[in-house]
A and B are shown apart, each in its own frame.
Chain A
Amino acid sequence: MVTTLPRPGVAAPAGPPAAAPAVETPPAYRGFTSWLTTVDHKRIGLLYGTTAFIFFLIGGLEALAIRMQLSSPDNTFVSPQVYNELFTMHGTTMIFLVVMPLSVALFNYIVPLQIGARDVAFPRLNAFSYWTFLFGSIFLMSSMFVDGLPDAGWYGYAPLTTRQFSPDTRIDFWALTLQVLGVASMAGAFNFLVTIINMRCPGMSLMRMPLFTWNTFVVSFLIVLAFPAITVALILLTFDRLVGTTFYYAPAGGDPLLWQHLFWIFGHPEVYILILPAFGVVSEVLPVFARKPLFGYPFVVYATVGIGFIGFGVWAHHMFTTGLGPIANSFFAASTMLIAIPTGVKILNWIATLWGGSIRFTTASMFSIALVSQFTIGGLSGVMHSVVPVDLHHNDSYFVVAHFHYVLFGGAIFGLFSGLYFWWPKMTGRLLNETLGRWHFWLWFVGFNTTFGVMHFLGVDGMARRTWTYSAYQGWGMWNMIATVGAFMMAVGTLVFLYNAIRSLRHGEVAGEDPWDGATLEWTIPSPPPVYNFAVEPTVRSRDPFWLLKRRPQAVEAEDDTARISILGKNVAVAEVEEEHPTEERVEERVATGDIHLPNPSFFPMITALGLTLAAAGLVYGIPLSVVGLVYLLVGIGGWCLEPTG
């Protein structure tokens, strides 16, 4: 483990005795294999990010096909069956295969750097999370070669998903994949909880933690507490489908409403799992580009925690039309209004952060500012939905489609891309081109508001969601055509970003360690960071340690322990200069002498993840595959236990 590090000048303890290990460890940082065996949080972050971005392109193409089909009345660009698969996969992909893993990519890369750690608490478990996510996603996509892609919507309401109404294997793929992805998410969440609780560098109390780390912390709690609900729901569904139980099948005494409760007990916290990482990004980006600290840090922290708590008490606002009765509906209307308060506090605190600042317009800051503006719209339409009678119209109409895209695209995706532009130079050592970045931003900003802005009108005009076509007499043709045009603007913006990203890897301007005048620890180390992150464990005594080092060096010179604002130990700065461009040999030398203690790479997380996924896949593809999967699983766990951890 990496928590105890030798101080400079102190003799490094010898490495573990070289007794013959039960299992050989693979090479660490070179070649293709090293990517399969890596346990380095930064590499796993890059794997998560790249994979999620590929799924983002797939989910985007699904969205474009949907918009093509709806661009005019009575269109037959796709059949109803294909359309239903498209919107199901668009939702499932964007939620589980894009926004969550893209957030996890940033958690992985950034959180250990922000808290001054050398890796996460359980590096191999981290690799296991990634491989489980990847294999689970491939398993889901493989359904297209069997009976076809899932087609019951991302929240798969029973009894449409029971075998009586969906007899083929599509829904089995969907349910089993969500279970497998749930394992990946839970493992990751526990990992980050332990990391954040245990591995903060000296001086970083909870109330000095950067906001992005705080949001990671809260999101991890939400995942740990929310996913069990959907796990139960999916187990019951899978039993209904494969064993013939009747939890959701009404004629045999089951209740379809049970699914909806269990799903939304997970599903609403899930909404905050999706948006809070973006809130964390904004809380980092706005202060840096306004060049002043976050306004009301404690309020923003309390608001984040408050959202996490109240988020578990609002699930039935997705079910106002199901006939829960006036008392239940009133309660959930009130709790939904309550959650608007901490959310509003955040928005106002972000705006107050900008007030009095010196705002630099970079692509990163523009995405964050757009999030504040667009999330306000999504938040306001959310409050409109808490007015139950109004929701009886808006629920499952395009008004809701507009609402959650303002929250999840205008909010989560804009925030995550803000973070991508912000931390890209830290991850790759090179800057993204700002001119191309501006094209990307404006194409997305205008395209997004065009597409989803007009969906408010469609909802008020009575267009129901998840409808593969509509008729001319319904009067929705014009708005739908405008929405489609906006979608293609966003597609062009995405291509601009793709070009910018690929170009930057070779030709981008070299960033240096601190291109934005950053405030937090990740900007004190080289870009990209050395494998061990920090040559010496840093010490912090306030919230914006790097700003203080840069702006009040005399305070650092004095090593004034009583200074109210930040101090980063002076010796750290010296050590960083020394290690700014360490050679590979130098790294391996320091690792070999035990001066830097790093976990060993391992094949076993991948083998274990493969075993888990195959075991689940066997329930569709045939039990022999499950047996093979279980063997892999046991081999993986066994090897995991026996190999030296480094």
Chain B
Amino acid sequence: MPPPQASADMRSCRPKRLPALRRCTLLALSLLMSMLAAGCGLAAPPTEVPQTTIFPKSDAAHIINNLYILIFVLATIVFIVIQAAIVYILWRFRYREGHPLPEQTHGNTKLEIGWTIGPAVVLLAIAVPTIQGVFALEGSAPAVDGSGRQVEGALPIEVIGRQWWWEYRYPEQGIVTANELVIPVGRTVELQMTSRDVVHSYWIPQLMGKQDVMPAHVNTLWFTAQEAGQYWGQCGEYCGIEHAMMRMNAIAYEQADWDAWVARNAQPSPAAAQQTNELAEQGAQLFTQRCLTCHAIAGTAAQARNGPDLSHVGSRTTIAAGILRNDTEGMARWLRDPDEVKPGNYMAHPPAEWGVTTRDHLLLRPQDVDALVEYLHSLK
């Protein structure tokens, strides 16, 4: 949590009649506090603020953060100087009864040229590292493999933005998945991103700055995760009714775990061909009857691409684009009434061109829900 004293000090600046001096001091203090809190107060551990932008966990995010620290420090200095000057002047030159008319000065050209050139120099000092940063981030990826050696090219992953979820394709591994981006630690990845519908923006703050995902464009984004773990993000460009619920996360695996994940996901799930129990068997039949128009499960007849690929959905930690935990209750809640979880989504309101002619998939009995949950969770 941010330090409590910041908010306590803001409260002390209540609108009451105070002598001019104290009023001005409080004014300055409250402004100062808010600015300082912006810099330091946010030093909360990422677990409490998982989308923090100032605890970078990748090389690309570090480039951004170093620039952020530079510009933040400079801005804070200017802020303090300007606000302090205002407060001092308000106090020193306040109106007092009986004082004569102040001297009627009209300007000072030397001074004014000085404070035109001064900021220009400071801005130049910012411009140089900024442009270096732009070329570093937007140039080709300085690709490394897991052990830090330079390699040919980054690991490509295709990202396709959809209203309101993400599709991922791993062309080299032959894997299709959704919403949870799985990456190896230490290996540079390059996201090649486009959109199937409107403009989205891909943003997992601890790993990368946002990059827009647009139809008719392919934007790329590279980064190298530096630590194993799960990182959280969400769509950064307003994209329609459920923009707020278009979230995603990235799971960075150490090399061995990554290899295992690739081996498992490059093949159809064992449960796709052979269900483990009767309930799952029922679920598989229900899926075939009601879900085929939109979803795909490798190794089965389900091959549609309107909704997320569910080939290994049982091994994901979240569903509905990062909205629900992928446990029995979460999956059941989604199947019972997707519109209650994520109002306006296309599972509840399929567009006409998808050819969904019935609403059967939304009219599941409790036992149907149980069966589908069992089946989907068996797909690991």
- CB pair B126 A387 closer than 8 Å: yes
Known: A153-B238, A450-B10. Contact between A383 and B126, CB under 8 A?
Answer: yes
Q: Which one of A351, A397, A449 lies within 8 Å of B31 (CB-CB)?
A: A449
- CB pair B104 A293 closer than 8 Å: yes
* Complex Cα–Cα for A24 and B95 (A): 56
CB B334 to nearest CB in A, in angstroms, measures: 15
Q: Which one of B37, B93, B134, B233 lies within 8 Å of A329 (CB-CB)?
A: B134
Q: Which one of A387, A438, A450 lies within 8 Å of B67 (CB-CB)?
A: A387
- CB pair A380 B215 closer than 8 Å: no
* Complex Cα–Cα for A159 and B200 (A): 11
Q: Which one of B85, B116, B119, B234 lies within 8 Å of A464 (CB-CB)?
A: B234
Chain A residue at minimum C-beta to C-beta distance from B211 = A321
- CB pair B112 A299 closer than 8 Å: yes
Contacts of A153 on B, CB cut-off 8 Å?
Answer: 238
- CB pair A376 B215 closer than 8 Å: no
Contacts of A553 on B, CB cut-off 8 Å?
Answer: none
Q: Which one of B27, B35, B163, B215 lies within 8 Å of A256 (CB-CB)?
A: B215
Which of B41-49, B142-150, B175-183 binds A? B41-49
- CB pair A389 B133 closer than 8 Å: yes
* Complex Cα–Cα for A200 and B105 (A): 26
Q: Which one of A80, A159, A438 lies within 8 Å of B241 (CB-CB)?
A: A80
Per-position 1/0 for B89-133, Cβ under 8 A of A: 110011110010111111111011001100110010011001101
Which of A127-135, A334-342, A533-541, A577-585 binds B? A334-342
A116 within 8 A of B: no
* Complex Cα–Cα for A360 and B95 (A): 5
Known: A340-B119, A446-B13, A470-B244. Contact between A251 and B201, CB under 8 A?
Answer: no
Interface residues of A in 323-350 (CB under 8 A from B): 323, 325-326, 329-330, 333-334, 337-338, 340-341, 344-345, 347-349
- CB pair B244 A467 closer than 8 Å: yes
Chain A residue at minimum C-beta to C-beta distance from B242 = A80
Which of A261-269, A419-427, A452-460 binds B? A452-460
* Complex Cα–Cα for A327 and B220 (A): 16
A37 within 8 A of B: no
Interface residues of B in 201-231 (CB under 8 A from A): 201, 203, 205, 208-212, 214-217, 219-220
B365 within 8 A of A: no
Q: Which one of A298, A344, A461 lies within 8 Å of B52 (CB-CB)?
A: A461
Chain B residue at minimum C-beta to C-beta distance from A347 = B82
A516 within 8 A of B: no
Which of B71-79, B250-258, B298-306, B367-375 binds A? B71-79
Per-position 1/0 for B41-81, Cβ under 8 A of A: 11010001111111000000001100110011001001100
Q: Which one of A251, A293, A337, A355 lies within 8 Å of B89 (CB-CB)?
A: A355
Known: A165-B240, A389-B67. Contact between A373 and B86, CB under 8 A?
Answer: yes
Interface residues of A in 459-484 (CB under 8 A from B): 459-471, 473-476, 478, 482
Known: A359-B94, A456-B34. Contact between A377 and B79, CB under 8 A?
Answer: yes
Contacts of B130 on A, CB cut-off 8 Å?
Answer: 330, 333, 386-389
Known: A254-B216, A373-B31, A383-B71. Contact between A348 and B52, CB under 8 A?
Answer: no
Residue in B17, B38, B241 whose Cβ sees the most chain A Cβ within 10 Å? B38
With an 8 Å Cβ cutoff, the count of chain B residues facing the other chain is 107
Q: Which one of B31, B52, B234 lies within 8 Å of A467 (CB-CB)?
A: B234
B2 within 8 A of A: yes
A442 within 8 A of B: yes
Chain A residue at minimum C-beta to C-beta distance from B16 = A442
- CB pair A159 B199 closer than 8 Å: yes
CB A494 to nearest CB in B, in angstroms, measures: 14
- CB pair A297 B106 closer than 8 Å: yes
Contacts of B30 on A, CB cut-off 8 Å?
Answer: 446, 449
Contacts of B35 on A, CB cut-off 8 Å?
Answer: 377
B139 within 8 A of A: yes
- CB pair B139 A358 closer than 8 Å: no
- CB pair A463 B134 closer than 8 Å: no
Chain B residue at minimum C-beta to C-beta distance from A298 = B107
Q: Which one of A255, A345, A359, A445 lies within 8 Å of B112 (CB-CB)?
A: A345
Q: Which one of A337, A462, A466 lies within 8 Å of B205 (CB-CB)?
A: A462
- CB pair A257 B209 closer than 8 Å: no
Chain B residue at minimum C-beta to C-beta distance from A374 = B31
Contacts of A348 on B, CB cut-off 8 Å?
Answer: 112, 115
A5 within 8 A of B: no
Contacts of A296 on B, CB cut-off 8 Å?
Answer: 106-109, 112
B236 within 8 A of A: yes
* Complex Cα–Cα for A351 and B49 (A): 39
Q: Which one of B38, B123, B127 lies within 8 Å of A460 (CB-CB)?
A: B38
- CB pair B205 A291 closer than 8 Å: no
Chain A residue at minimum C-beta to C-beta distance from B89 = A354
- CB pair A396 B106 closer than 8 Å: no
Known: A256-B216, A393-B205, A474-B49. Contact between A159 and B131, CB under 8 A?
Answer: no
Q: Which one of B135, B197, B208 lies within 8 Å of A159 (CB-CB)?
A: B197
B332 within 8 A of A: no
Contacts of B203 on A, CB cut-off 8 Å?
Answer: 393, 462, 464
* Complex Cα–Cα for A333 and B132 (A): 12
- CB pair A81 B344 closer than 8 Å: yes
Q: Which one of B53, B94, B119, B219 lies within 8 Å of A393 (CB-CB)?
A: B53
CB B152 to nearest CB in A, in angstroms, measures: 22
CB B240 to nearest CB in A, in angstroms, measures: 6
A292 within 8 A of B: yes
Contacts of A337 on B, CB cut-off 8 Å?
Answer: 123, 126-127
B7 within 8 A of A: yes
CB A319 to nearest CB in B, in angstroms, measures: 8
Contacts of A340 on B, CB cut-off 8 Å?
Answer: 119, 123
CB A264 to nearest CB in B, in angstroms, measures: 14
Known: A358-B102, A387-B133. Contact between A376 and B53, CB under 8 A?
Answer: no
CB B292 to nearest CB in A, in angstroms, measures: 24
* Complex Cα–Cα for A355 and B63 (A): 41
Contacts of B34 on A, CB cut-off 8 Å?
Answer: 449, 453-454, 456
Chain B residue at minimum C-beta to C-beta distance from A471 = B323
Known: A340-B123, A383-B71, A473-B50. Contact between A159 and B201, CB under 8 A?
Answer: no
Chain B residue at minimum C-beta to C-beta distance from A306 = B116
B15 within 8 A of A: yes
B198 within 8 A of A: yes
A239 within 8 A of B: no
Chain A residue at minimum C-beta to C-beta distance from B48 = A475
Q: Which one of B86, B105, B219, B239 lies within 8 Å of A160 (CB-CB)?
A: B239
Residue in B1, B220, B238, B241 whose Cβ sees the most chain A Cβ within 10 Å? B238
CB A440 to nearest CB in B, in angstroms, measures: 10
CB A372 to nearest CB in B, in angstroms, measures: 6
Contacts of A291 on B, CB cut-off 8 Å?
Answer: 95, 101-102
Chain A residue at minimum C-beta to C-beta distance from B94 = A359
* Complex Cα–Cα for A330 and B107 (A): 35
- CB pair A290 B134 closer than 8 Å: no
Contacts of B244 on A, CB cut-off 8 Å?
Answer: 80, 464, 466-470
* Complex Cα–Cα for A599 and B107 (A): 41
- CB pair B215 A295 closer than 8 Å: no
* Complex Cα–Cα for A471 and B247 (A): 11
Q: Which one of B82, B107, B205 lies within 8 Å of A295 (CB-CB)?
A: B107
A10 within 8 A of B: no
Q: Which one of B13, B31, B85, B237 lies within 8 Å of A157 (CB-CB)?
A: B237
- CB pair B51 A461 closer than 8 Å: yes
Known: A376-B83, A390-B64. Contact between A321 and B212, CB under 8 A?
Answer: yes
* Complex Cα–Cα for A322 and B218 (A): 10
- CB pair A79 B343 closer than 8 Å: yes
CB A149 to nearest CB in B, in angstroms, measures: 14
Q: A291-B95, A376-B82 are in contact. List 6 more A-B contacts (CB 8 A).
A: A159-B199, A340-B123, A356-B93, A462-B51, A464-B203, A468-B243
* The 6 A-B residue pairs with the shortest CB-CB distance in the complex, in nearest-first order: A392-B209, A462-B51, A442-B15, A467-B244, A250-B215, A296-B107
List 10 contacting pairs A-B, 8 Å CB cutoff, sorted by A: A79-B343, A81-B343, A84-B243, A160-B199, A298-B107, A321-B210, A358-B93, A384-B72, A389-B64, A390-B64
